[in-house]
Amino acid sequence: MALTDRTGEGRASLPPWIKTTFLTLGSIAVTMLGLLFVTFIIGRVMPIDPVLAIVGERASQSTYDAVFEELGLDKPLIVQFGYYIWDVLHLDFGTSLLNARPVSEDIARVFPATLELATLGIFFGIVLGVPLGVLAAVRKGSWIDQVARVVALVGYSMPIFWLGLMGLLIFYGILGWVGGPGRVGIFYVDVVPPVTGMILIDALLDRNWDVFKNAFSHIILPAALLGYYSLAYISRMTRSFMLEQLSAEYITTARVKGMSEWDVVWKHAVKNIRVQLITVIALSYATLLEGSVLTEIIFSWPGIGSYITTALLSADMNAVLGGTVVVGLVFILLNIFSDLLYKVFDPRAR
């Protein structure tokens, strides 16, 4: 009797956060493993002979066999998968077949470009999308609600690569207001030392205003484009979350207290949608980080999206798989981060 009591106590004394942490870590590990498995299978299914890609068409059978063995292709699939995981854990994605450099180095170079673009994009999306959604909910049925609805509908329906082309045509080709494709103009390439890999920040660190201005004129159009797409989604979701909160009883309580409508909305209602908003924002940030493939191609932006696509089109499998794993990892990390923020903003989740 006393014994069972003690074990019960012992279990209770284990802080609950340890258990949740273990559960979260376990689920991340499983998802990650699945991600690797799928990329591994895609790599094996690809109708490209990795040996042939290395040794070339005219290699002798013995060279071919040597490389075949070196790559571990003679081993059973499960062993090959083991090797693959081992390599990935060491951040070793193999060498690019295209330029013979380690894929991890390539990714370290292109990822900051995507990060810079996506971050600026999501910044536009949040700064404009959240207030628009809140206003649309507060003034439900008014002209601003209609405008928000049209903005979102057009955003959901417009092919991004086409809108990008039109943007380039109008703002670069005709009006000349912004820089063209690429991250900076040709005279500004490699002027500032790459510290973070994000040109805007590097230029600031170097106090080189010319580069900053030029880089900004290049990033503004693609970032605004990505921002518009996340704005459409964020404003729509914000609106429906807000409508749900505005009909809640605690809102009446705040009004009964004699609070101004502005404070009721921004201090009480908005506080209650933070958790849901975080999920939405994390999701669209993840989409921008991974899915800006088309935008990057239109704007010749040397980010991870165009890296993966170029690699795909030239059958550089190591680069494709490496890029995909990194993107998947970013997605999972963002999910964990938003889970953590939950606990900060919602006392009920603690």
**Nearest to other proteins of 107, 192 (CB atom):** 107
Per-residue binding letters, 215-244, with other proteins (x by CB under 8 A): ------------------------xx--x-
- Rounded to an integer, what distance in angstroms lies between the CA atom of residue 63 and that of residue 59? 6
For 248-279, give the DSSP string: SHHHHHHHHTT--HHHIIIIIIHHHHHHHHHH
Residue 194 C-beta: closest distance to other proteins, Å: 25
Token pair 């949608």 is found at: 273
The reply on whether position 16 binds other proteins by CB under 8 A is: no
Q: Kindly tell me which residue out of 52, 77, 169, 205 binds other proteins, with binding defined by CB under 8 A.
A: 169
The reply on whether position 291 binds other proteins by CB under 8 A is: yes
Give how far the C-alpha of residue 233 lies from the chain's centroid of Cα atoms, to the nearest Å: 15
Given the rule CB under 8 A, which of 61-69, 76-84, 88-96, 342-350 is the region that contacts other proteins? 342-350
In the three-class reduction of DSSP (H, G, I as helix; E, B as strand; rest coil), residue 116 is classed as helix
Q: Kindly tell me which residue out of 10, 16, 159, 193 binds other proteins, with binding defined by CB under 8 A.
A: 159
Give how far the C-alpha of residue 159 lies from the chain's centroid of Cα atoms, to the nearest Å: 19
Quick one: CA dihedral 78, 82, 83, 84, positive or negative?
Answer: positive
> What tokens were used for 198?
């994000």
- Rounded to an integer, what distance in angstroms lies between the CA atom of residue 219 and that of residue 229? 16
The reply on whether position 147 binds other proteins by CB under 8 A is: no
Residue 350 C-beta: closest distance to other proteins, Å: 9
**Nearest to other proteins of 80, 314 (CB atom):** 314
The reply on whether position 53 binds other proteins by CB under 8 A is: no
Q: Kindly tell me which residue out of 308, 319, 322, 341 binds other proteins, with binding defined by CB under 8 A.
A: 308
Per-residue binding letters, 171-210, with other proteins (x by CB under 8 A): --x-------------------------------------
Give the N- to C-terminal CA distance of the chain in Å, as an integer. 33
Nearby residues of 101 by Cβ (< 8 Å), 6 or more positions away: 95
- Rounded to an integer, what distance in angstroms lies between the CA atom of residue 223 and that of residue 167? 12
Contact 342, 275 (CB under 8 A): yes
* Residues binding other proteins (CB under 8 A): 30-31, 34-35, 37-39, 42, 45-47, 153-154, 156-163, 165-166, 168-169, 173, 239-240, 243, 248-250, 252-261, 268, 271-272, 274, 287, 290-291, 293-294, 297-298, 305, 308-309, 312-313, 315, 320, 323-324, 327-328, 331-332, 345-348
